[in-house]
Amino acid sequence: MEAATENAASSTASQKYYFCLANADFMLNDENNEHFPEVLRERRRFYRETNKDQDFWVVPNPAFLDAMPDVAKKVRQPCVAVVTTDEVWNNFVKLRLDRVYKGCVEGTAEECLAMKSPIAADAFPAPDTSKWTAPYAKYAPGWWEAFYPGNENA
């Protein structure tokens, strides 16, 4: 899948990308992490209202892990990273989610935002209705696709 982004790709310069890496089921599907799409949607709304270019993305199975075999073997597969050029915000993601590997990678947007394979909307089993006790439905599967690199205007 083409990883070049409309905004970040405007620069072919190398820069630092900070990330929080986690198991995909934990980050994208855990009922206790339903706050996380809310954080991302809020931030995106704020960036649009203040005319800031988006500098954070959800990158499933990031390609940059090929260069970090020791890290790759520490995370249950499939995995996903929240990637950003804002180091301070990356620390916030760690604070909020806790069970994430926090790291940094340097390179071009094309290199650092490349995904080896996406996480399909139906990647996780439907919630067991006998165990889902919330008075509302789960967020629609695939909510994360809006935050893939290249989908900034989706």
Interface map 76-105 toward other proteins (x if CB under 8 A): x--x--------xx-xx-xxx-xxxx----
Whose Cβ is closer to other proteins: residue 94's or residue 116's? Answer: 94
Q: Does 143 bind other proteins (CB under 8 A)?
A: no
Whose Cβ is closer to other proteins: residue 88's or residue 154's? Answer: 88
Q: How far is the CB of 138 from other proteins (least distance, A)?
A: 10
Whose Cβ is closer to other proteins: residue 13's or residue 137's? Answer: 137
Whose Cβ is closer to other proteins: residue 16's or residue 74's? Answer: 74
The DSSP line for 50-110 is: TTPPP-EEEEESBGGGGG-HHHHTTSPSSEEEEEES-HHHHHHHHHHH-SSEEEEEEE-HH
Name which position in 10, 15, 16, 31 contacts other proteins (CB under 8 A). 31
Q: What is the DSSP letter of 25?
A: I
Tokens of 41: 């949607």
First to last CA, the chain: 16
